[in-house]
Structure 1
C-alpha cells in the first residue's frame, strides 16, 4: 500500500568516525548504541578524548548498551531519561560547538529525524551528518489534516491519535517536521478504510 520511489524518503548511509574532526558529538538511541560500539577498533584513546556521547535507552532486547558505551571511555558519556531530554542537551552541545565538530546520529527514524531537525535549525548541512538506522522501523507520522504528530506508528492505515481519521502512511517525509505524512484514506467514503497492515515493526 506504500507509494514507491518518493525522493524525500530518508536514506541512512551509516556512521564512520572521522578521525580528523576536532570534536565528535554522537547522539544515540537504544540499539543505535551498536553503531558506535561496533567500531571499537577505530576508537583510539585520542579520538575518545574528543567524544561526547549522548545516549537514551529504548527497548534493546535485554542488552546493556549503556554499560558498553560507558566502558568506551569517551571524554563525556551522558545518559538521558527521555528523548526530549537528550534533544535538549544535544541542542546545548551544538550551540556551544566550535568549528571542526562532527555530529553523528543513530537510532530509530523518529529519533534520527528529531535530532537532525535540531542540527538543521542551527545551520548544519544534513549531507554532512552521518546517520545510521538501528532498531524499530516504527514511524513518526504527521496527520496532514489536523497537523498532529503520532509517534511509533507500525501499521498503515492507522487512526490519528489527534483527530481520529484513518490515515494512509506515505513514504513522503518532511525533514522540517521530522515526520512521514499521513493522509485520510477514506475521505470520499468514511468508514471504508481497509484493515491495518503491519508494515513498520
Structure 2
C-alpha cells in the first residue's frame, strides 16, 4: 500500500567514477562494497591510488566483501564496527577534505540517507554526491506524529516503535532527516488499519 505520485523519492545514479577528481572518498555499507568493485572493473583501478574507503560490514557475506575491498588496493581502507562509528569517521574526514575530492555513498537507503546528512552538514552539494543503492529495500522511517525514527522498516503499515500508532509508510522522503515519512493510517477510526504487507524486503 503506497501513495502514488510522490516525487521526493530519491533516485540514485550509481557510483560513476569522476576521472577529474583529485581524491575519491567512498563510504560503503554491506553490499555497497559490490558497487565499488563494479566501478573499479568498469573504470580501471588507477583512481584507487587516490581513494579512501570507509566500510561497515553488514549481511551474511560481509567477510568476503572485506577481503575483496582490500584486494582492490585503495590508498586507505578502514572498517568500522557499526554505522554510527563509520558516520563519525566520515564526519571527521569531511572536515579535513580539500577541494577536488569526490564523495561516493553505497549501501541501503537508510545508510545513504544518514551519510548524506553528514555530507550536507559540511556544505557539500546534494547533486555532487554519487550514490548507489545496494542491499535491503528496508526503510528508515520517521513518524510524523511523535518524530521518532525507526530503522529497517519492511512493512506498511507498521506500528511506530515510539508512540504505537499504525503508520502508512509513504514514498515522501525528507533529505533533511534522511528518512521516509510515516502517517497514522487509522486516525479517524482507530483499530481499522489493514494488515501489514511486506513491501520493502
Query: Structure 1 length as normaliser, TM-score?
Result: 0.96
Partner of 1:44: 45
Q: Deviations over 1:104-133 (max 9, x none)?
A: 000000000000111111101111111000
Task: Write out the 4+ residue segments of structure 1 that deviate beyond 6 Å after TM superposition.
Answer: none
Q: Deviations over 1:118-160 (max 9, x none)?
A: 1111101111111000000000000000000000000000000
Q: Deviations over 1:25-77 (max 9, x none)?
A: 001000010101112332334x2121000000111446610110011111110
Partner of 1:137: 137
User: Aligned partners of 1:134 and 1:63: how far apart in 2?
Assistant: 17
**Secondary structure in 2 matching 1:2:** coil
Partner of 2:16: 16
Contact 1:31–1:60 (Cα < 8 Å) also in 2: no
* Unmatched 5+ stretches in structure 1: none
Partner of 1:169: 169
User: Aligned partners of 2:94 and 2:142: how far apart in 1?
Assistant: 26
When the two structures are aligned, how many residues end up with a matched partner?
200
RMSD, matched Cα? 1.1
Q: CA 1:62 to 1:107, structure 2 compared with 1: closer, same or farther past 3 Å?
A: closer
Partner of 2:183: 183
Q: CA 1:25 to 1:62, structure 2 compared with 1: closer, same or farther past 3 Å?
A: closer
Contact 2:15–2:39 (Cα < 8 Å) also in 1: no
* Unmatched 5+ stretches in structure 2: none
Partner of 2:77: 77
Worse-superposed segment, 17-26 or 59-68: 59-68
Q: CA 1:75 to 1:61, structure 2 compared with 1: closer, same or farther past 3 Å?
A: closer
Contact 2:57–2:63 (Cα < 8 Å) also in 1: no
Q: What does residue range 11-160 of structure 1 map to in structure 2 within 5 Å?
A: 11-41=11-41, 42-45=43-46, 47-61=47-61, 64-160=64-160
Contact 1:28–1:105 (Cα < 8 Å) also in 2: yes
Q: CA shift at 1:94, angstroms?
A: 0.7
